Amino acid sequence: MMRMHKILLLGLGMLTAACQSEADQVREYETRVRSLESIEEDTLLVTEAIASFDAFAVNYPKDSLSAHYLLLAADLERNRPGRALFAVRRYQEIHKMFPGQSEGALALFSMALTFDEVLLDRARAGQGYTLFMDTYPNHPLAKQAADLRYLASSDSALWKILPEWEEKNRNHQSSQSQ
């Protein structure tokens, strides 16, 4: 009985060490990719980091950091040349997996932003922003999503609001000079 207890403790200790080791590894990758000035600076590191983040999420799906690492992997994909659609797919999956967590909301917003800024698909971006506002109407990014949806709805939308911005700027400058 005592021998079985020791074996169990040893096995538990090894499992804890393995978990800790993998957690340390993903933290190290996160630190290293965040220190890059651009994705192109070290594409091998980025590829390894994405694989490490994915493996962590698969091995520890209930860990609170899994959503964080999946979102980080999607963000890295978004910035890799030619990988924006892969990022969109990742954002969709993250949103479905974690709809009630902040990462789920951020994934949906990031998906719309990727359509808007990277893929230049204003129609899908507008749909994404609308879905975000409908799903998360009280989210801190809801107002920004509404503004971006308006801008995405028309190529000339910027020209419609530019005079308003110029007027606000003139008023602000005149109030500072007084």
How far, in Å, CA of 110 to CA of 114, rounded? 6
Residue 178 tokens, joined: 């007084």
How far, in Å, CA of 106 to CA of 112, rounded? 10
Enter the pTM of the model: 0.75
pLDDT of residue 19: 46
pLDDT of residue 159: 53
pLDDT of residue 80: 93
Write 127-133 long-range contacts (CB < 8 A, 24+).
132/105, 132/108
Please report, for the chain, the start and end positions of each structural domain, with discontinuous segments joined by +: 49-177
Phi/psi at 136 (nearest 5 deg)?
Answer: -130, 65
Using the structure block, give the residue that is written with the tokens 């230049």.
Answer: 120
The stretches in the chain having pLDDT less than 70 are 1-20, 155-163, 165-166, 172, 175-178
Which class in CATH covers the domain with range 49-177? mainly alpha
Phi-psi region of 120 (alpha: psi -120 to 50; beta: other; left: phi over 0): left
